[in-house]
Chain A
Amino acid sequence: MNTQPAPSKRPPAPSEAAWSLAAERVECYLRAHHLTGDRQVARLTADLIGIARTRQRPGVEPVTLAMETVEACMGAWFAHLLGAEVADGPLLARGRVALAMGDVPARWPEYFLRQGTVPVELIRVMREADLARRPSVRLGHMAPTPAKLAVSPLWLRLQVSYRWPFVRVVTGLVMAISVLGTVWAAGR
Chain B
Amino acid sequence: MQLQDFDPEQLDPGVAFRRRGFVGVMVLLVLAPAVALMADLHLRTGYDGWKIVHLAIFTVLFGLLAFGALQALLGFMVARQGGDACRISTSVDWAEDRAPIRARTAVVMPVCHEDAARVMAGVRVVYESLEADGRLPDFDFFVLSDSTDPNCWVAEEVAWAALVRELGAAGRIFYRKRRVNTNRKAGNLADFCRRWGSHYRYMVVLDADSVMTGGAIVALARMMERNPGVGLIQAVPRLVNGETVFARLQQFASRLYGPVFTAGINYWQLGEANYWGHNAIIRVAPFMKHCALPELPGAGPFGGRIMSHDYVEAALMRRAGWQVWLAADVEGSFEECPANLIDFAKRDRRWLQGNLQHARLVVAPGFHPASRLHFALGIASYLASPFWLAFLVLSTAIVWRYKATGLTPLPVDSYAAQLSWRFQTEAVLLLGLTLGLLFLPKILALLDLRSRPAEVAAFGGWSRLTGGIFMETVLFTLLAPVLMLFHTKFILLTLLRRSVGWKTQRRGRDGASDWRECVSTHAGHTALGVSWLALAWWISPMLAAWMSPILAGLILSIPVSYFTGCAGPGLALKRAHFLQTPEESAPPEELARLEARLASSGGRRVPSPAEDAGLLEAVTDPYVNAIHLSQLRAKDEPLPANEVRFAVLRERLLREGPAALLARDKLALMQDADSMSRLHRMLWAAPAEELAAGWRRVLERQGAEEARAPVIRHGARVAAVENRIWR
- On A, residues with C-beta under 8 Å from B are 21, 25, 27-29, 31-36, 61, 63-64, 67-68, 71, 89-90, 92-97, 99-101, 103, 105-106, 128-135, 137-151, 155-156, 159, 162-163, 165, 168-169, 172, 182-188
Contact = CB atoms under 8 A, between A and B. Distances in A.
A32 B496 contact: no
Contacts of B297: 147, 149, 151
B450 interface: no
B688 interface: yes
A97 B365 CA distance: 53
B634 A90 contact: yes
Interface string B141-185: 000000000000000000001001100001100101000000000
A97 B626 contact: yes
A144 B703 CA distance: 52
B637 interface: no
A97 B196 CA distance: 24
B419 interface: no
Contact of B53 (A21, A25, A183): A183
Contacts of B703: 27-29, 31-32
Contact of A29 (B50, B196, B295, B622): B622
Contact of B170 (A89, A129, A150): A129
A127 to B, nearest CB: 11
B686 interface: yes
Interface string B352-382: 0000000011011110000000000000000
B623 A25 contact: no
A129 B170 CA distance: 7
Given A31-B703, A35-B707, A144 B627 contact: no
Contacts of A27: 703
Contacts of B176: 134
Interface in B622-672: 622-623, 625-627, 629-631, 634
B140 interface: yes
B164 A131 contact: yes
Contacts of B138: none
Nearest to A101: B165
Contacts of B699: 25, 28
A132 B631 contact: yes
Nearest to A152: B363
Contacts of A33: 622-623, 706
A131 B52 contact: no
3 closest A-B pairs (Cβ-Cβ)? A186-B49, A28-B703, A96-B626
Given A27-B703, A186-B48, A147 B294 contact: yes
A138 B200 CA distance: 11
B497 interface: yes
A1 to B, nearest CB: 37
Nearest to A185: B49
A164 to B, nearest CB: 11
B161 A135 contact: no
B702 interface: yes
A25 B684 contact: yes
B298 interface: yes
Contact of A139 (B48, B194, B629): B194
Given A135-B199, A142-B190, A150 B363 contact: yes
Residue among B51, B170, B365, B702 with most chain A CB within 10 A: B170
Contact of B292 (A68, A93, A142, A149): A142
Nearest to A105: B711
Contacts of B622: 29, 32-33, 96
B709 interface: yes
Contacts of A156: 298
A67 B681 CA distance: 8
B60 interface: no
23 contacts: A29-B684, A36-B707, A64-B686, A71-B681, A90-B629, A92-B626, A93-B625, A97-B623, A97-B630, A131-B627, A133-B170, A138-B198, A142-B193, A142-B197, A146-B295, A147-B296, A148-B364, A149-B297, A159-B298, A162-B299, A169-B496, A187-B49, A187-B50
Interface of B: 48-53, 140, 161, 164-165, 170-171, 174, 176, 190, 193-199, 288-289, 292-300, 303, 360-361, 363-366, 401, 495-497, 620-623, 625-627, 629-631, 634, 674, 677, 681, 684-688, 699-700, 702-704, 706-712
Contact of B707 (A31, A64, A141, A188): A31
Contact of B364 (A139, A149, A185): A149
A128 B710 CA distance: 20
B565 to A, nearest CB: 34
Contacts of B140: 135
Nearest to A186: B49
Given A36-B707, A187-B51, 4 more contacts: A134-B174, A140-B194, A155-B298, A183-B49
Residue among A32, A67, A130 with most chain B CB within 10 A: A32
A101 B170 contact: yes
A96 B625 contact: yes
B685 A67 contact: yes
A188 B401 CA distance: 10
B630 A131 contact: yes
Contact of B630 (A94, A159, A165, A185): A94
Given A28-B703, A148-B365, A183-B53, A63 B686 contact: yes
A150 B365 contact: yes
A99 B50 CA distance: 76
Contacts of A99: 623, 711
Given A27-B703, A36-B707, A101-B164, A133 B686 contact: no
A186 B700 contact: no
A32 B361 contact: no
A20 B625 CA distance: 26
A63 B687 contact: yes
